[in-house]
Amino acid sequence: MQISPPYGYKDIVPFDRTKKVKLPHAGELPGFAGSTNAIPVSYVEFSVACHDYPLVFASSDNGKSFSPVAVIGLANGENLFVKNGKWDPQVYLPAYVRRYPFCMSRVTMDGKEQDQRLICVEEAFLAEDGEMLFDAAGAPLDAWKPIEQLLREYEADIERSREMCGILADYALLEQFTLQAQVSGGAALNLSGMYRVDEKKLEFLNAAQHKNLIKKGIMGRIYAHLISLENFARLMNRKGQTPPAA
């Protein structure tokens, strides 16, 4: 059995309800949060995340498949929303960060990906001085219930995200684009590898395609995405306010 950890996770293991888990303190961030310039977002998150971040589509297989992400930095390894180890409390914190150290992972057996998913946890968070999340009879304690709800809702939302991205790709609506600008001090900025919806192509869709986008709620996400691109200007303002590295 092979379990592949999501981006930013290290060594994950299936969650054993008899084990104690050292839960992060309020506001504590996973290590990867401060050293990445993009964080995955899901279908439901578009409506709130679009107010704070540019929402774009990324591809790790040269445009064969896509996933939505929030751009949080303008250089590799840069998160402009983290300061002194804390995420800016004035902006939305993506569920991908909030679910840590837990996740739900697909299992591969004999080279074949299985349909079922396992609730997993970072192995480093299993500790004797941690907290029990289930009682001796195996019933969930109060601390576990919101964690499980977040995990299951987020996983279901990821499936809606995959469906949305598959439809956008099938309708040939996504185009690659590059952000080129100058930040304070005259430094050149070149951020590439991103995809956006080409709004002009929407008018060439047939009636059935338009209806499908509206029925599945994707049309609303498209315009949330397009409006969110204005947040690149806010990112550049944040970049200008960030002290240069020593």
Helix (H, G, I), strand (E, B) or coil at 123: helix
> Where does 9-136 have alpha helices with state H?
46-49, 95-98
Reported for 181-185, long-range contacts at CB under 8 A and 24+ positions apart, including other chains, are 181/232, 181/236, 183/74, 183/236, 183/239, 183/240, 184/239, 184/240, 185/244
Q: How far is CA 176 from CA 30, 59, 165, 170, 223, in A?
A: 30, 10, 14, 15, 17
pLDDT in tens, 16-53: 999 999 999 988 999 999 999 999 999 999 999 999 99
pLDDT of residue 130: 95
> Where does the chain have alpha helices with state H?
46-49, 95-98, 144-170, 207-215, 218-228, 231-241
Lowest mean pLDDT across 13-22, 64-73, 111-120, 220-229: 111-120
Closest-CA residue to 14 (of 159, 120, 91): 120
Lowest mean pLDDT across 92-106, 112-126, 231-245: 231-245
pLDDT of residue 170: 97
Task: Verify cis geometry, omega within 30 degrees of 0, for the bond prior to 5.
Answer: no
- The model carries a pTM of 0.90
Q: What is the largest CA-CA distance in the chain?
A: 63
